[in-house]
Amino acid sequence: MSSGRPAVFFDRDGTLNEEVEFLSRPGQLVLIPGAARAVRAVNDSGMICCIISNQSGIARGIFAEADLVPVHAKLERELAREGARIDRIYYCPHHPTAGLSPYNIVCECRKPFPGMLHKAETELAVDLHRSFVVGDRLIDIQAGQAAGSKGILVLTGWGMHARAEIAASGVTPDFIAASAVEAVDYILHGDKGEKTTDD
């Protein structure tokens, strides 16, 4: 059995910051209210805190990988202003069909595949079976569950739309939360929000 530490993996857009299609400039990044508090609570708990984000805008030629550097620097500054930090940011620049080489490939790092979680498992000694993925899309839940982690749907970003998609898919989130704050409250303190499974 793993002796690693548990982690919380946050999706980025629509979960920690406001949803913007193909966000590529620091000025577009605005934290969702409470997001920094949620991240800080994970930090204070001793759990590892990561971001896992699909960034197919790179494969599509909409922006370059280098454009993510100032965006993520802004994200980290905004979090730091409220005493929060991200231990590692993982992103997938690929798309299975769109765009040009070398990015137009099927890869294990693109959610719903769990490659980014397995990378964290190796690099940060994460115990995936005691970890959580928090996101606003079906693919976040699928990636978490594929890695043996729990998946929590948040109703920010695309969450309300994803809720209907998830219901039709047969995938069951381990929890549905109004926001990242409520998701982290559930992770750290147990059942206070909306359960998705029968007792």
Does residue 198 carry a catalytic annotation? no
**How far apart, in whole angstroms, are the C-alpha atoms of residue 28 and residue 40?**
22
**Which of 77, 16, 6, 82 lies closest to 48 in space, CA to CA?**
6
**How far apart, in whole angstroms, are the C-alpha atoms of residue 99 and residue 105?**
9
Instruction: Calculate the CA dihedral of residues 75, 73, 117, 157 and round it to 10 degrees.
Output: 30
Q: Which amino acid is at 109?
A: C
CA 142 distance to own-chain centroid:
12
Does residue 11 carry a catalytic annotation? yes
5 φ, ψ to 5°? -95, 150
Quote the tokens at residue 177: 């939360």
Quote the tokens at residue 193: 């929000």
Rg (CA), the chain: 16
CA 88 distance to own-chain centroid:
12
Q: Could you give the residue numbers annotated as active site?
A: 11, 13
